[in-house]
Amino acid sequence: MGEMNYSLFFIDTFLLERTLVYIVIMQFFRRGSLQVEIIKDITMIEGIFVEGLIYGIMVLGVFITFRILDFPDLTVDGSFPLGAAIMATMIISGYNVFFALAAAFMGGIAAGVVTAVIHNRLKVPNLLAGILTMTMLWSVNIRIMGNRANLPLLKNETILTDIVSWTEGIIPSDYTILIFFFFVAMAIKFSLDLFFRTDMGLTLGALGNNEQMVISQGVNINVMKAIGVGLSNGLVAVSGAFAAQYQGFADVGLGTGIVVTGLASVMIGEFIFTSNKIVVLTFRVIIGSIIYKAIMYLGRYYGYHIGLTPNDLKLLAGLLIIACLMIAQGKKRNYFRRWKNDQA
């Protein structure tokens, strides 16, 4: 029962707030500047949740390809900045913000469909198909942003500035953004839950598990893969579009390592609880994303005690995945042993 020990470790990180309060008190004794530290930590917790929710939309996309479709899709590294680029360019050109968001979503879908078609038509392994699209998207993204690698959005009206101006004087702006992203992430999560209960959604679920079974039902699996990978990248692009608005710029390098972020978040989520209910699966994806962001924030703010710099965060992300894989493998081995005992 290795499961228990490991989940205890993650419950610890789950009780993040308590840890933070402890750290704050420790620093108060050390430096005597309680007020500054508390303000810093509250904005930090708010930042963790907002970023966790924004990136959670992307992680839902990664979850669809990696876990449901069993189609390791690296297009994500390109479709995330694609969403950001489309959003930023259209905002600056004066389009309606919601129209721009829809366009980002469609752009992401198109990128995913390109990957699926390369994979289906040319019989290229899915990893390679994703890398091809991702590489091409680098140039496409720079084109979209008008041959620039970076587009600042600081003086433009975005969805976020709109929302904040609507609730001005009622709720502090930081909380408005937090509440807004909570509802956006939940709306997307529940639409996905609904989608995966439809006949098409169920078939997508079976596709990652047993292609032969889906073929036997008279379903064209190439079309199904295009739908699944398209939907996934659409979500990733929406996530990128929100990330650009939250950070105040779109950058062509925004997507580097997004797959790793997504995968690590999915894996962290899987340690929280096991279930076969899609409602629970999508929920733990978002929780996983928030925990991942928390770990990264901890690494960024408190890592200097052990000599970590922000440049080490990618290494941290990779090590996190390796740790998750090792734990998961240990679990599987235990499970297999139990299964064998049952047979005997």
Contacts to another protein by CB under 8 A: 194-195, 197-200, 202-203, 205-206, 209-210, 212-221, 223, 276
d(CA 121, CA 103): 26
Nearer to another protein, 199 or 306 (CB): 199
CB of 215 to another protein, least distance (A): 5
CB-count exposure of residue 242 (10 Å: 0-12, 13-18, 19+):
buried
d(CA 110, CA 158): 24
d(CA 45, CA 125): 41
Nearer to another protein, 169 or 218 (CB): 218
Q: Which of 83, 109, 73, 92 lies closest to 251, judged by CA?
A: 83
CB of 219 to another protein, least distance (A): 6
Nearer to another protein, 118 or 204 (CB): 204
d(CA 228, CA 210): 15
CB of 222 to another protein, least distance (A): 9
Nearer to another protein, 198 or 334 (CB): 198
d(CA 342, CA 344): 6
Beta-strand ranges (E) seen in 66-146 are: none
Residue 152 backbone phi and psi in degrees, to 5? -80, 145
* Element containing residue 60 per DSSP (H, E): helix 34-63
Q: Which residues pair with 150 in a beta bridge?
A: 251
Nearer to another protein, 170 or 342 (CB): 342
Nearer to another protein, 139 or 209 (CB): 209
CB of 193 to another protein, least distance (A): 11
d(CA 36, CA 181): 26
CB of 181 to another protein, least distance (A): 27
CB of 69 to another protein, least distance (A): 12
Nearer to another protein, 164 or 328 (CB): 328
d(CA 178, CA 186): 12
CB of 128 to another protein, least distance (A): 24
60 alpha-carbon distance from chain centroid? 6
